[in-house]
Amino acid sequence: MTHERVTITGLGAITPSGLTVSEMWDAVANGRSGIRVLEGDEFETQHARELGVRISGQVRGFNPEDYVPRPLSRRLDDMHVWAIAAADQALAQASGGPAATTAAVAETTGVAPGAALPWDPARVMVVVGTGSGPLRPHHQGAVGFEHKGQRGVPLTLTMHGAPDAPAALISQRYGVTGPARAVSATCASGAVALGETMRTLRHGYADAAIVVGVEDCVNPINVSSNANVRALAAGYEAHPEQASRPFDSGRTGFVVSAGAAAMVLEREAVARSRGANVLAELAGYGASSDAHHATAPLSDGRGAAAAMRAALADAGVTAEQFATGAPDGGPLGHVNAHGTGTVAGDAAEAAALTTVFGSTTATGASCQLPITATKSSTGHLLGAAGVLEAVISVCPLREGIIPPTINLDDPAFPELAIVREPRRMPPENNTMVLSNSFGFGGHNASIVIAAR
- Angle, CA of 422, 433 and 264, to the nearest 5°: 110
Rounded to the nearest 10 degrees, what angle do helices 165-174 and 78-95 cross at? 40
Candidate list 80, 380, 395, 443, residue with the active-site label: 380
Q: What is the CA radius of gyration of the chain?
A: 21
Active site residue 187: yes
**In a 10 Å sphere around its CB, with 0-12 CB exposed, 13-18 middle and 19+ buried, how is residue 415 labelled?**
middle
Q: Do the bridges between strand 280-289 and strand 333-336 make them parallel or antiparallel, or are there none, so unpaired?
A: unpaired
Cβ-defined contacts of 323-329 (< 8 Å, 24+) = 323/357, 323/367, 323/368, 323/369, 326/428, 326/429, 326/431, 327/428, 328/426, 328/428, 328/429
Beta bridge partners of 274: none
Helix (H, G, I), strand (E, B) or coil at 342: coil
Q: How far, CA to CA in Å, does 341 sit from each of 178, 260, 348, 407, 446?
A: 39, 21, 11, 10, 18
- Angle, CA of 448, 10 and 353, to the nearest 5°: 20
C-alpha to C-alpha distance for 18 and 402, rounded to whole angstroms: 18
Position 191: which residue type?
A
Contact 353, 334 (CB under 8 A): no
Candidate list 80, 334, 338, 443, residue with the active-site label: 338
Candidate list 80, 187, 217, 443, residue with the active-site label: 187
Active site residue 380: yes
Give 68's DSSP letter. Answer: S
Active site residue 395: no
| Beta carbons within 10 angstroms of residue 424's beta carbon | 10
DSSP assignments along 186-255, one per residue:
TBTHHHHHHHHHHHHHHTTS-SEEEEEEEE---SHHHHHHHHHTT-B--S-TT-GGG---TTBTT---B-
DSSP assignments along 146-177, one per residue:
HHHGGGGS-THHHHHSSTTHHHHHHHHHHT--
Contact 170, 422 (CB under 8 A): no
Position 152: which residue type?
G
Give the closest residue to 450 by CA, choosing from 401, 393, 389.
Answer: 393
- Tell me the backbone φ, ψ of residue 23, rounded to 5 degrees: -65, -45
Q: Which active-site residues does the annotation give?
A: 187, 338, 380
